[in-house]
Amino acid sequence: MASKTQNAQLDAKKVLKAVEDQFTTLQILNEEGEVVNEAAMPDLSDEQLQELMRRMVYTRILDQRSISLNRQGRLGFYAPTAGQEASQLASQFALEKEDFILPGYRDVPPIVWHGLPLYQAFLWSRGHLAGGQIPDGVNVAIPQIIIGAQYVQTAGVALGFKKRGIKAVALTYTGDGGTSQGDFYEGMNFAGAYNAPAIFIAQNNRFAISTPVEKQTAAKTLAQKAVAAGIAGIQVDGMDPLAVYAAVRDARERAINGEGPTFIETLTYRYGPHTMAGDDPTRYRTAELDNEWEKKDPLVRFRKFLEKKGLWNEEKENEVIEQAKEEIKDALKQADAAPKQKVTDLMNITYTDMPDSLKEQYEIYSAKESK
């Protein structure tokens, strides 16, 4: 039995601090829209900068419309996105069409900008089978409901690219809560072990429904979780579209050059409730915190930046808003035109070949439906 305390073999504080010190926040545009990190400025043309702004304005309108459509009962499940535009859209903007996105359920905008028709996103929200019939050539998965499950699948998609010799990456999103799931670690570890071209994003919007990130983990940053998987990790200002773009573009570059996966933590905020199904953020967030984050708004700072460059004005913004409203209306009309979902439709897609036991049930429901 040891009775004397031995000299400490591990200076725990020092070890942890050394890890934390590696993860400072990458920012390029500050809240005033000023460039604070010229060296990190991504190589984007004026047209590309305008297009990124257009998408953020458009998506803010889409969020507002989706919330009101949900309240009217015209849309089903919906997880609001306002506040996370830079995190969601600048990351997708850094990809190429051949790259593959595996979203969580809040990440509908990135897959829409990656090619999923908006009316299908609406149908998915309503639980219509046609919503999931992803068109050929659109490289996205259907939004994942099980938190973290998409992370492990991302390792698989990325390994597939590697095995087939395709120069493309798999990119996935989860939230701060998602980083607690086993799947989160497994996904990054597998991708690291196979040196697969994957990009893992954790959008740290500070709350997993009601649970603050401080209660989620003892880690000071989420970015440092990459260390244990032996992959690169970076924390970026998730309200800064240029920082998000630069980090993802760089990660993509390295991934397709065979330099392995990257984990990116984006510091962001969701202005709205967790979902439209009865969540009340006033139970767990203060108005002060909401205000503090709304000052960091990605649209505000990017607008200031572009206005100073003469690339944006009110007229342009209004044009985008009108276009968004029109296109949303059209997409809704298209979604409404989809045939009503029947139980026999479900039976038809349950297996490749319908088993006899199901054929018997098919006859019964088919008779009911034709009444």
Partner 1 sequence: MAQMTMIQAITDAMRVELKNDPNVLVFGEDVGVNGGVFRATEGLQNEFGEDRVFDTPLAESGIGGLAVGLALQGFRPVPEIQFFGFVYEVMDSISGQAARLRFRTGGKFSAPITFRSPFGGGVHTPDMHADSLEGLMAQQPGVKVVIPSTPYDAKGLLISSIRDNDPVIFLEHMKLYRSFRQEVPEGEYTIPLGKADVKREGTDISIVTYGAMVHESLKAAEELAKEGFSAEVIDLRTVSPIDIETIIASVEKTGRAIVVQEAQKQAGIAANVVAEINDRAILSLDAPVLRVAAPDTIYPFPQAEAAWLPNYKDVIETAKKVLTF
Q: Which is nearer to partner 1, 4 or 283 (CB)?
A: 283
- Work out how close the CB of 123 gets to partner 1 at its nearest, in angstroms, rounded to a whole number: 9
Do residues 269 and 296 touch, judged by C-beta distance below 8 A?
Answer: yes
Q: 251: which 2 tokens?
A: 């990660």
**DSSP secondary structure letter of residue 33:** S
- Work out how close the CB of 309 gets to partner 1 at its nearest, in angstroms, rounded to a whole number: 41
- Work out how close the CB of 121 gets to partner 1 at its nearest, in angstroms, rounded to a whole number: 13
User: To 10 degrees, the CA torsion angle through 209, 210, 216, 219?
Assistant: 100
CA distances for 119 relative to 123, 127, 129, 333, 335, angstroms: 6, 12, 12, 8, 5
Q: Which is nearer to partner 1, 290 or 317 (CB)?
A: 290
| Residues 6 or more apart whose Cβ sits within 8 Å of residue 178 | 104, 147, 148, 151, 184, 202, 208
| Residues 6 or more apart whose Cβ sits within 8 Å of residue 66 | 75, 78, 80, 125
β-strands 262-267, 211-212 pairing: unpaired
CB count, 10 Å around CB of 186? 15
Packing angle of the helix pair 118-126, 314-336 (nearest 10 deg):
50
- Work out how close the CB of 107 gets to partner 1 at its nearest, in angstroms, rounded to a whole number: 14
Binding stretches for partner 1 (CB under 8 A): 76-77, 105, 126-129, 145-147, 177-178, 180-182, 208-211, 215-217, 277-279, 283-284, 340-343, 345-347, 350, 357-358, 361, 365, 368-369
CA–CA–CA angle 277, 102, 75 (5° rounding):
30
d(CA 269, CA 297): 9
Catalytically active residues are: 270, 274, 284
- Work out how close the CB of 186 gets to partner 1 at its nearest, in angstroms, rounded to a whole number: 11
